[in-house]
Chain A
Amino acid sequence: MKKIKKRSISFVLTLVMLFSMCSAVAVSAEEPVEITLWTFHSFDETTEPDSLGGFWKNVGEEYVAATGANVKVTVESIPNPGYMDEKLPTAFATGSGPDVFLMCPPIMMQYVQSDLLVPLNDYYTDEMKEDFYVNVVDGYTVDGNIYSFPFNMGMEVLFVNMDALEEAGQEVPTNWEELRTVAAALTTEERWGLVTNVDNNTNMPMCFSPFVWMQGDFFTEDRRGSMMNSEAVTDALQLWRDLITDGSMPVKVPASGYDIETMLNGGAAMMVSGIWNIPSIIADESGMNIEIFPLPAPEGGKPASCTGGWSLAVADNGDPAKIQACIDFAKWLSFDNSEAAYKASTYEGLLPVRNSISERAQEEYFVGEHWDMVFSQGIIESSIPELRCPPAVNEIIRNMVVNCLADTSRPVEEFAAEADEQLKLFLETYDGEL
């Protein structure tokens, strides 16, 4: 009797275990794939949904609601500048990096070189390739592989305080010589004639590069050799140094920064900065008349600007289900869902990267004289994707510029020659695209 009892109990237990295992399998089949998205846009419980922070806060839920995908997207906000320089590398170094994250060209190369990004060529359909602006996708392409889905872009322009210009009896500068003259004329005891990013940070080359591109490049055409010692580089260095020695431009970014606030508070009459400043100009109530112009080019040079922007990159974490879920999500945001792609650009005051959305954005969001100035003066057409070279090369360029501006006792050619030597030394052990 006892034996029978024991047996029946063990039988029941076995059945229970089997059932629970089956149900566990059934549940796991239904469990959503969990992916983590990292963004630098801030949000909290109080963030309005119709705002930049709100968009990123809810983007995962919106994706699931729109597609019915069996995915759970956890969005984590990591404030900048720590996002790019500290959090991302340390997270990847410790194996706790995000599955999908916001990326810009200057930080891309180290992830590509470490095989941390999933190449996305297979997911770019012909329709997509036609719709995306070519030069934006080029900025995320290394050795033929496309490493992210871009969703917005911005470019460097010249902001001019027209009231100050009129007061000084000057015209908008159209070449380098005029830029120096006008900057000097607009400089007062309380105001710089021209301000731009001259500090030693990752984004500084974005402001300096267009001045080089107006006459040449840092690299050879195949992006595998140095052109640091070229006239294009030395002329651009000389222009920035002249502006500093004239007393028209600071050698260090003012305490209030190099965004439009410095102009709006009267600290600068002209500024080389990005179009993301335009919403601040429109929102400003001081009545300051700021207009937007292409960056002045030297005589005989071509107009140029620098395109930067943000995209979604997918980390190669070795989990095919996660990787696929991330690719689907990133593609949805960048391409499949035009509304999301539209919001991801306009909420940030940046342009869409696709022709199909651009028209709508121009009709609905980029309205007003400031945006007209961007679209009507060939600024977008003359833009070149910002540098996405290895960090060591970015450092060579940055050090060349800051050292040249700080030490005016040596000719600019010496700094360019030093940078050329350093780049050539780097290229001896580097076998990739710059």
Chain B
Amino acid sequence: MKKSRTNKMRRREVVTAYLMMAPDLILILVFLIAPIVYAIYLSFFDWSGLGAKRFVAMQNYKNIWKDSMFLSSLKTTGIYTVWVVILLVILSLFLALLISSCAKIVQGVFRTCIFMPYAISAVVAGLMWAFIYDQKRGYLNRLLYSLGMQKQGFISDSGQALYCIIPIALWLSVGYNAALFIVALKEVPSMYYEAAELDGASTLKKFWYITLPSIKNTTLFVTIVTTIGALQVFELIQVMTNGGPGQSTKVAVLHIYQQAFVQYKFGYASAMAVVLLIVIMIVTLIQFKVMGADNEGAEK
């Protein structure tokens, strides 16, 4: 009798839990899962988006490996991602350490200053920086010229363009990531440092053996989120260079977008999107394996 009542109560609890989660689950299903499933479905069709769909089985996937533009865009995305992830993690952590070591009174000011660019949309930032980088009349070139230096092509130079976009991506998101690190640093128990000091540990050793392991989960989170974001970079590049000069800044998502909305190859673009999704999943899994998330929570 008692057992059946307990079971009933548990069932009720489960139902209640699912009901409470339902709004979120429905949203996730409609706006996340359904589009992914539909993209996978579309990837097996030849479809201009306008007429009837024609089933082509794996043809779109076979075509991807012959599409030198997509492969080159993947390479460009890879270069962009490596630079952005490495620099962003280092820079965010450095700024977080710097701010954490400041007097409390100025910490808020610095935090606000570095967080502000995060509130700017990538489109607005891209337009603004396109003016700053302008080859003839941009502020940067005017500065170089006034210093007696030669004007640069910046985003008008196929060799420089990608490396001019990377600092903008860093500028936009360093504040957010630094804020995450600041919170993680605050969670590190001060007694660890006190004990290390008693043992005569240097600052570098304290950082290496106490700080870094203690904020491992945050580092992993920042790395993964930044990697995914970098692999999906689009607005900044579309606004600043639209993939040019030539194809020098054509990243994978821009290429997929152009295939879908300029070339009207929705089936093929979906196949490329699926490939990119798999690439992102593989990279994320590798990062999890290599960096090894501490499920019990290192930041106790």
- Chain A residues within 8 Å of B, Cβ to Cβ: 85-86, 89-90, 92-93, 110-111, 113-116, 189-192, 199-202, 250-252, 254-256, 267, 391-392, 395, 399, 402-403, 405-407
Verify B135–A252 contact, CB threshold 8 A. Answer: yes
Q: Does B151 contact A (CB under 8 A)?
A: yes
Task: With A85-B261, A200-B242, A406-B246 as known contacts, state yes or no: A115 contacts B51, CB within 8 Å.
Answer: yes
Which of B50, B137, B242, B244 has a CB less than 8 Å from the CB of A406? B244
Give the residue among A113, A192, A252, A406 with the most B Cβ atoms within 10 A: A252
Which of A189, A255, A403 has a CB less than 8 Å from the CB of B134? A255
Which segment of B17-25, B89-97, B99-107, B262-270 sits at the interface?
B262-270
* Known interface pairs A250-B136, A402-B244; 9 further A-B residue pairs with C-beta atoms within 8 A, sorted by A's residue number: A93-B50, A113-B51, A114-B50, A115-B51, A189-B145, A200-B243, A251-B245, A254-B137, A402-B245
B-side contacts of A113, CB under 8 Å: 48, 50-51
B-side contacts of A190, CB under 8 Å: 136-137
Q: Does B85 contact A (CB under 8 A)?
A: no
Verify A199–B263 contact, CB threshold 8 A. Answer: no
- 24 pairs across A/B with beta carbons < 8 Å? A89-B49, A92-B49, A93-B49, A113-B50, A113-B51, A114-B50, A115-B51, A116-B50, A190-B136, A250-B136, A251-B153, A251-B156, A251-B158, A251-B244, A251-B245, A252-B155, A252-B244, A254-B136, A255-B127, A255-B134, A395-B263, A402-B245, A406-B247, A406-B248
Verify B49–A250 contact, CB threshold 8 A. Answer: no
Instruction: Provide the bound-state CA to CA distance between A85 and B245, in Å.
Output: 21
Which of B145, B151, B247, B264 has a CB less than 8 Å from the CB of A391? B264
A interface footprint on B36-65 (CB within 8 Å = 1, 0 otherwise): 000000000000111100000000000000
Chain A proximity of B124: nearest CB distance (Å):
13
B-side contacts of A202, CB under 8 Å: 262
Instruction: Provide the bound-state CA to CA distance between A89 and B134, in Å.
Output: 33
B-side contacts of A200, CB under 8 Å: 242-244
Which of B137, B155, B262 has a CB less than 8 Å from the CB of A85? B262
Instruction: Provide the bound-state CA to CA distance between A201 and B241, in Å.
Output: 11
Instruction: Provide the bound-state CA to CA distance between A80 and B262, in Å.
Output: 14
Interface positions of B from 128 to 159, Cβ below 8 Å from A: 130-131, 133-138, 145, 151, 153, 155-158
Chain A proximity of B144: nearest CB distance (Å):
11
Verify A252–B156 contact, CB threshold 8 A. Answer: yes
Task: With A89-B50, A395-B262 as known contacts, state yes or no: A199 contacts B135, CB within 8 Å.
Answer: no
Give the residue among B130, B137, B242 with the most A Cβ atoms within 10 A: B137
Task: With A250-B156, A252-B156 as known contacts, state yes or no: A89 contacts B136, CB within 8 Å.
Answer: no
Which of B136, B138, B261, B266 has a CB less than 8 Å from the CB of A189? B136
A-side contacts of B247, CB under 8 Å: 399, 402-403, 406
Smallest CB gap from A187: residue in B: B136
Task: With A200-B242, A403-B246 as known contacts, state yes or no: A391 contacts B262, CB within 8 Å.
Answer: yes
Chain A proximity of B166: nearest CB distance (Å):
18
Verify B245–A406 contact, CB threshold 8 A. Answer: yes
B-side contacts of A85, CB under 8 Å: 261-262
Task: With A85-B261, A89-B50, A93-B266 as known contacts, state yes or no: A255 contacts B248, CB within 8 Å.
Answer: no
B-side contacts of A110, CB under 8 Å: 48, 50, 264
A-side contacts of B131, CB under 8 Å: 255-256
Smallest CB gap from B132: residue in A: A255
Verify A267–B135 contact, CB threshold 8 A. Answer: no
A-side contacts of B241, CB under 8 Å: 252
Smallest CB gap from A110: residue in B: B264
Verify A114–B245 contact, CB threshold 8 A. Answer: no
Verify B262–A254 contact, CB threshold 8 A. Answer: no
Instruction: Provide the bound-state CA to CA distance between A190 and B139, in Å.
Output: 11
Instruction: Provide the bound-state CA to CA distance between A392 and B69, in Å.
Output: 14
Chain B proximity of A271: nearest CB distance (Å):
14
Instruction: Provide the bound-state CA to CA distance between A115 and B51, in Å.
Output: 7
Instruction: Provide the bound-state CA to CA distance between A395 and B259, in Å.
Output: 10
Smallest CB gap from A86: residue in B: B261
A interface footprint on B228-243 (CB within 8 Å = 1, 0 otherwise): 0000000000000111
Chain A proximity of B156: nearest CB distance (Å):
4
Chain A proximity of B165: nearest CB distance (Å):
13
Instruction: Provide the bound-state CA to CA distance between A402 and B258, in Å.
Output: 15
Give the residue among B133, B158, B262 with the most A Cβ atoms within 10 A: B262
Verify B262–A90 contact, CB threshold 8 A. Answer: no
Give the residue among A116, A255, A406 with the most B Cβ atoms within 10 A: A255
Chain A proximity of B253: nearest CB distance (Å):
14
Chain B proximity of A29: nearest CB distance (Å):
34
Chain A proximity of B277: nearest CB distance (Å):
20
B-side contacts of A403, CB under 8 Å: 246-247
Verify B246–A402 contact, CB threshold 8 A. Answer: yes
Task: With A89-B264, A92-B50, A113-B48 as known contacts, state yes or no: A254 contacts B134, CB within 8 Å.
Answer: yes
Verify A250–B246 contact, CB threshold 8 A. Answer: no
B-side contacts of A201, CB under 8 Å: 242
Which of B127, B137, B261, B263 has a CB less than 8 Å from the CB of A392? B263
Which of B127, B137, B145, B261 has a CB less than 8 Å from the CB of A89? B261
Verify B158–A407 contact, CB threshold 8 A. Answer: yes
Verify B261–A405 contact, CB threshold 8 A. Answer: no
Which of A86, A93, A405 has a CB less than 8 Å from the CB of B246? A405
Instruction: Provide the bound-state CA to CA distance between A402 and B145, in Å.
Output: 28
A-side contacts of B137, CB under 8 Å: 190, 254-256, 267
B-side contacts of A392, CB under 8 Å: 263
